[in-house]
Structure 1
Amino acid sequence: MHTSVSAPRRISFALSNQFALPVLFALFGLIMGTWAGRIPALAERIQLSHAALSMVLLCGGVGAVLSFPVSSFLMGRYGARKLALGSGMTLLAVLVAIGLAPNVSRLMMAVLMLGLAASTFDVAINSAATRREKQTGKAGLSTLHGICCAGGLAGATLGSLMASLKIAPGTHFLMLAGPLVVVLWCAFAMMDEGDSAEAVEKKSFALPRGPLALLGLLGFMGSMAEGSIADWGGVFLKAHFGAPAGMAPLALSAFSLMMLLSRLVGDRLKGRFGAQRLVSLGALVAAAGLFFAVAAPSAPVALGGFAVAGVGLALLFPFVFSAAGAQGPMALAAVASMAYSGSLIGPPIIGAVAHFVGMQAAIGYLGGLSIVIALVASRTRLLK
């Protein structure tokens, strides 16, 4: 058994992952941005109420919960490289199934699989990224998550264009899935073979405990807020302001654009100010942006509030993942799965609030959640 990696192999690993990892993160963002950007159209096509839509989105949360033990088991057996390929292919197939779902029950089943596949893919690519951070000794997750935001921005913007052209979500998703299968395979081929042999602790999956539990909670709430804005921002613009179908996805576009710009400088800011301070202050900025969106007099003005929220929440997710990855692959799988489930469990909660109290209260709830995030981040010692 070799205990070290030769210099040529280290160079090969660095070069291959230098291109493969950004492609995989961009791909993930594009898929999820595409899904989120067409939620208003999907809901309108099947005539879903806010309450019914929240139940559909809840299925995604259930899928994410089911992925907890699955992703850690598959990571230990196949490694990040093969897991990224398998879960990525599944994710693309599920996206098409969502677009073609003829009724609520089929849509719920497809969204359940979306939660499972997306969470597993998320764990795989972040595991590969934290492994790269360890080998190079350089922070890189913020930049990679910024690239993911770029993908999400592209997906949401494309969704806006497709909605304006009155192209059905099913047709849109089919047009996208074919080329993305090729992109996914090329990224898989570029990744270093050593990823398939990554060692994982030989113990059963467990939810994070102790100091790691605060990281999991922080990631859960952060992604809950992020996922809720992605899924309900467009619905808020359409329901509250009567925004046209082409404008609704721009809530996610504004949010993702500012998140992208913030994450591209996040690694440098981390070295200067520290992760804990950036996450705490950022959450307060996000709260201010969301409250501004609630009080906005028009949809274009509300877009500014979502953009400010993107700045505030941008660095939470990558810094939580980086801190968890430093504790080992199993810790990353636990925290990442718990965190990612928040982005799928959060939207149905927002849907319930919107149903009983109204969309303004639902977005305001996210502002309050951001304040709680700031308090938890200030007490999370593993954020450095």
Structure 2
Amino acid sequence: MDDMTRSGSFQARRSGFFTKSRAAVSLLFLMNGFTVGCWAPKIPEFAERLQLTKFELGLMILVFGLGSLVMMPMAGAQIAGRGSKIVVKAFAVLLLPMLLALTVTQNVWTAAIAIFLFGGFIGAMDVAMNANAVSVEKSMHRAIMSSCHAFWSLGGLIGSAIGGFLISRWGVLGHAEVSTALAVLFLAVAWPMILGDQPHPDEAKPKARLPLIPLPWLLGMMALFCMIPEGAVLDWSALYLGQEKGASVTLSGFGFAAFSLTMATMRFAGDFVRDQLGAVKTLRVCTVFAIVGMLLAALAPNAVLAIVGFALCGIGISNMVPIAFSAAGNIPGLQPGIGISVVTTMGYSGMLVAPSAIGFAAEHVGFSPVLMALPVLLLIVLALSSLARYADGIGHSSH
């Protein structure tokens, strides 16, 4: 009887306040992913307007990543002192005007500043919303990280899928205005429901010291090698499909859209799949899908098959990153904020170094051989996959 009363009050708690906080953090992931998705189809026009070569566009994307790497640890420090709610709100508001800024810049230097801030605000908001998701998980005593990342992918899908259409219909400025208005709407709905977690001033002391145990660094390397292929698809699939596979502007946008669609679908199923298979087996199955998909995209004779390859790759990469993040938040004897900060920063450095390096390489050998090399990184993830067992600890710790 006591158990029934307890579970009843737990259900009541979940159906009330916690559902709102879960909806809010899901909307934050949606808005962040949507903004990134809106950027993907703008890249070819951005390069053309500023007359950038692949090498120079690679440098610009490097600046985006540098912005993320500079601001992510800053966000981690602010979360320790103030809690994730204030930090995620601040960076979400700062992010809103950035698509417009990237659309109106007419010279390389202002574009570089805009793209640095864009990358920084995306990255800082990302750390804060992941920290908020861990707080929501703990308040609900269950895993929600895969579904949060599913909303990020869904946002990416919506942003990239409508991008080509809006640009061809209303031009790049019209596209940026509509995108910004939608991002404002997502944030406005989430705003009053965001979970107010307690700051951890005690984390401020160890925060300055990087963890000395190898585990967060190995998980960070897993996240890094999962996110390099994701960054490749985000930044280069439109150019690859257009230049090497002869796809139209609209069809070129479908590479990242197909990737985001399968990724979002599998992430919504991810928490269930992990409950059935466990994190280790889930990670291994996903990695094999990602390898097959990337090879198909690289070797495809036409744009449509390449898009199918990107879709398979999305199935694979879907739950690899959330598993690494969940494991990072559950490392024994390490503050969740510190573990997550190490793994997110290392993971996103994949978005930093890889796309620019891919641009430099593609300038000389084309995209196809570069895409063929990426599965080597995924083989390393496969080798480290037993570390995913820490992700299975999620939701059991209520403290």
Q: TM-score, normalised by structure 1?
A: 0.92
**Which position in structure 2 is the counterpart of 1:33?**
37
With 279-288 and 296-305 compared, the bigger mean Cα shift is at 279-288
240-249 vs 336-345, greater mean Cα deviation: 336-345
| Matches of 1:117 and 1:62, distance apart in 2 | 11
Correspondence list, 1:1-384, <5 A: 13-165=17-169, 167-168=171-172, 170-192=173-195, 194-195=196-197, 197=199, 201-203=203-205, 204-207=207-210, 209-327=213-331, 328-378=336-386, 382-384=390-392
Q: What is the alpha-carbon distance in structure 2 between the residues aligned to residue 310 and residue 167 of structure 1? A: 29
Alpha-carbon distance in 2 for matches of 1:133, 1:180: 25
Query: How far 1:266 moved relative to its partner?
Result: 0.8
Residue identity matched to 2:319: L
Give the Cα separation in 2 of the matches to 1:97 and 1:380: 40
Q: Which amino acid aligns with 1:187?
A: A
Of 328-337 and 296-305, more deviation after overlay is shown by 328-337
How far is the alpha carbon of 1:245 from its aligned partner? 1.0
Classify 1:98/1:45 alpha carbon distance in 2 versus 1 (closer, same or farther; 3 Å). same
Deviation, structure 1 residue 275: 1.3
Distance 1:24 1:255 in 2: 20
The residue that corresponds to 1:3 in the other structure is: none
Greater CA drift, 218-227 or 334-343: 334-343
> Letter of the aligned partner of 1:250 in structure 2?
F
Which secondary structure does the structure 2 equivalent of 1:230 belong to?
A: helix
**1:65 CA displacement:** 1.7
Please tell me whether the aligned partners of residues 26 and 149 of structure 1 are also in contact (alpha carbons under 8 angstroms). Answer: yes
Aligned pair in 2 of structure 1 residues 206, 302: CA closer, same or farther (>3 Å)?
A: farther
2:29 alignment partner AA: F
Contact 2:41/2:160 (8 A) holds in 1: yes
Partner of 1:346, secondary structure, is helix
**Residues 215, 382 of structure 1: 8 Å contact kept:** no
1:215–1:320 Cα contact (<8 Å) kept = yes
After superposition, what is the alpha-carbon deviation per residue over 1:310-364, rounded to whole angstroms, capped at 9, x for unaligned? Answer: 0111001111111112241222122222212322332111111111221111211
Contact 2:297 2:308 in 1 (8 A): yes
Deviation at 1:182, TM superposition (A): 4.1
Residues in 2 aligned to 1:207 and 1:101: alpha-carbon distance in whole angstroms: 38
Q: Give 1:114 deviation, angstroms.
A: 1.7
Residue deviations 1:169-203 (CA, integer Å, cap 9, x gap)? x33213321342243133121123x3254566132
Q: Is the 8 A contact 1:130 1:326 kept in 2?
A: no
Percentage of pairs with the same residue? 30
Q: Is the contact made by 2:154 and 2:264 (CA closer than 8 Å) also made in structure 1?
A: yes
Please state how far the C-alpha of 1:93 moved relative to its aligned partner: 2.0
CA distance in 1, matches of 2:251, 2:208: 43
Superposition TM-score, scaled by structure 2 size: 0.88
**Cα RMSD (Å):** 2.1
Cα gap change, 1:143/1:55 in structure 2, threshold over 3 Å: closer, same or farther? same
Aligned length: 377
- 1:144 Cα offset (Å): 1.4
Summarize the Cα distance change of 1:70–1:179 in structure 2 as closer, same or farther, 3 Å threshold: same
Question: Which deviates more from structure 2 when the two are superposed, residues 159-168 or residues 314-323?
Answer: 159-168
C-alpha distance in 2 between matches for 1:374 and 1:103: 43
Query: How far is the alpha carbon of 1:15 from its aligned partner?
Result: 3.1
Partner of 2:397: none
Residues of 2 paired with 1:356 and 1:383: CA distance?
A: 41
The separation in 2 between residues aligned to 1:363 and 1:101, in whole angstroms, is 31
Shift of 1:280: 2.5
Q: Is the contact between residue 96 and residue 173 of structure 1 (CA under 8 Å) also seen in structure 2?
A: yes
Whichever residue aligns with residue 127 of structure 1, its letter is A
Asked if the contact 2:330/2:391 (under 8 Å) is kept, the reply is no
CA contact (8 A) 2:279 2:389 kept: no
Q: CA deviation at 1:11?
A: 6.7
Structure 2 spans left out of the alignment, 5+ residues = 1-8, 393-399
Deviation at 1:10, TM superposition (A): 7.7
Work out whether residues 293 and 311 of structure 2, in 8 Å CA contact, stay in contact via their aligned partners in 1: yes
- Give the Cα–Cα distance (whole angstroms) in 1 for the partners of residues 361 and 113 of structure 2: 23
